[in-house]
């Protein structure tokens, strides 16, 4: 557990340097993910999409990992276990679950349940990393989650969405949220002894063997309808999906996580729904409503106050 303590101590001693906002930016890029993923679901299964996405990411990450290969010699059993959680859990299984949820559940319910990720991450960070939460952190979580609810459902009462929650799609989204929350904590632990480029590369590369097995066991045919034009559109969407909300977002995310507590970073990830709203407005002509504007304001207020608190704590330590 000494490595865990050292990791937490490093966060307290390191200057903020915009790390919190790098996490916000990296998570915000995830908001464009459904734009590509929903299009790809028309031609491929969830497992096939995630597998091909990771093949593209492998090609981008392999040279980076080779450059930092000396770090692999220092990996111990605990780091290996954390890497399995980050790669198999957070990168492979969670992404498959979320992709399946997009195609089998009520989209609003799926998105809202995915926002429960901070609950899992904060609890695990307190137990595993021994992180002390900032003052007034609890009320700020409530404010951010309230803003997320308004972004998703507006003024409507939650009771009207019970049937949406109790569904296969919602359970898949809940599983993805739990795995992503655990991945945030394990990623923060790994950054105590590894560079963020190495963690990002291993996250994608180690997930590939599991994805090959899952896709092979699925036994679904690889079919693309619509000829060469459809194939080209799929290839472009897959490349953009892998490089923007995939590689670039995770590089920003892990670089920011270097100087940000896991419990704080997971709340910064709530920038994701705000990007989703902008994507709906720009690409699908869905106008922003008053509840959504209020939701934006609540989330960004919470993010600003947490960032300010963390900056003040770093200056005192």
Whether 316 is covered by a domain: the verdict is no
How confident is the model at residue 269, as a pLDDT? 79
pLDDT tens-digit map of 180-212:
889 989 998 999 889 999 999 999 999 999 999
Answer yes or no: are the C-beta atoms of 45 and 103 closer than 8 Å: no
- Token pair, residue 111, equals 């998105």
Count CB-CB contacts under 10 A for residue 143.
20
State the burial class of residue 306 (Cβ atoms within 10 Å of its Cβ: 0-12, 13-18, 19+): buried
Q: Classify residue 203: in a domain, yes or no.
A: yes
Residue 93 has phi, psi (to 5 degrees) of: -65, -45
3-state secondary structure of 19: helix
169 domain residue, yes or no: yes
272, part of any domain: yes
Can you tell me the mean pLDDT for 227-245?
Answer: 82
Q: What is the pLDDT of residue 13?
A: 40
Q: Which domain holds residue 247?
A: 2-309
Distance CA 132, CA 62 (A): 36
Domain assignment of residue 314, yes or no: no
Per-residue pLDDT, 11: 42
Span 72-87, mean pLDDT? 93
Backbone torsions φ then ψ of 193, nearest 5 degrees: -135, 0
CA distance 133 to 149: 23
Q: Over the stretch 107-137, which tens digit does the pLDDT of each residue have?
A: 665 666 666 677 778 778 878 888 777 677 7
For residue 14, the model assigns a pLDDT of 42
Q: What is the mean pLDDT of residues 286-299?
A: 78
Is 23 contained in some domain?
Answer: yes
Is residue 35, in this structure, part of any structural domain at all? yes
Q: What is the pTM assigned to this prediction?
A: 0.74
pLDDT in tens, 10-62: 444 444 457 888 999 998 888 788 778 878 888 888 899 999 999 999 999 99
* Other CB atoms within 10 A of residue 60 CB: 17
Q: Where are the alpha helices (DSSP H) in 154-248?
A: 162-165, 168-190, 196-205, 207-218, 227-242
Our count of domains for the chain comes to 1
């Amino acid at each position: 557990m000494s490595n865990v303590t050292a990791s937490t101590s490093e966060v307290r001693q390191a200057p903020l340097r915009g790390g919190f906002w790098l996490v916000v930016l990296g998570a915000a890029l995830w908001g464009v993910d459904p734009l590509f993923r929903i299009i790809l679901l028309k031609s491929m299964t969830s497992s096939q999409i995630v597998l091909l996405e990771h093949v593209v990411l492998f090609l981008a990450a392999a040279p980076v990992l080779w450059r930092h290969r000396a770090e692999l010699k220092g990996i111990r059993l605990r780091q290996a276990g954390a890497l399995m959680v980050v790669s198999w859990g957070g990168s492979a299984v969670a992404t498959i679950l979320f992709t399946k949820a997009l195609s089998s559940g009520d989209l609003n319910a799926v998105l809202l349940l995915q926002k429960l990720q901070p609950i899992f991450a904060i609890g695990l960070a307190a137990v595993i990393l021994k992180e002390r939460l900032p003052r007034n952190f609890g009320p700020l979580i409530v404010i951010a989650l309230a803003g997320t609810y308004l972004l998703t459902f507006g003024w409507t009462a939650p009771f009207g969405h019970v049937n949406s929650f109790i569904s296969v799609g919602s359970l898949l989204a809940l599983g993805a949220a739990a795995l992503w929350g655990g991945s945030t904590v394990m990623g923060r632990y790994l950054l105590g002894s590894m560079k963020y480029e190495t963690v990002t590369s291993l996250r994608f590369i180690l997930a590939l063997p599991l994805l090959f097995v899952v896709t092979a066991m699925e036994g679904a045919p690889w079919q693309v309808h619509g000829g060469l034009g459809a194939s080209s559109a799929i290839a472009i969407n897959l490349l953009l999906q892998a490089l923007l909300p995939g590689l670039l977002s995770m590089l920003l995310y892990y670089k920011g996580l270097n100087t940000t507590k896991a419990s704080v970073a997971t709340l910064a990830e709530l920038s994701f729904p705000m990007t989703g709203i902008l994507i709906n407005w720009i690409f699908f002509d869905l106008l922003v409503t008053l509840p959504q504007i209020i939701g934006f304001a609540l989330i960004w207020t919470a993010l600003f106050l947490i960032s300010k608190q963390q900056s003040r704590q770093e200056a005192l330590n």
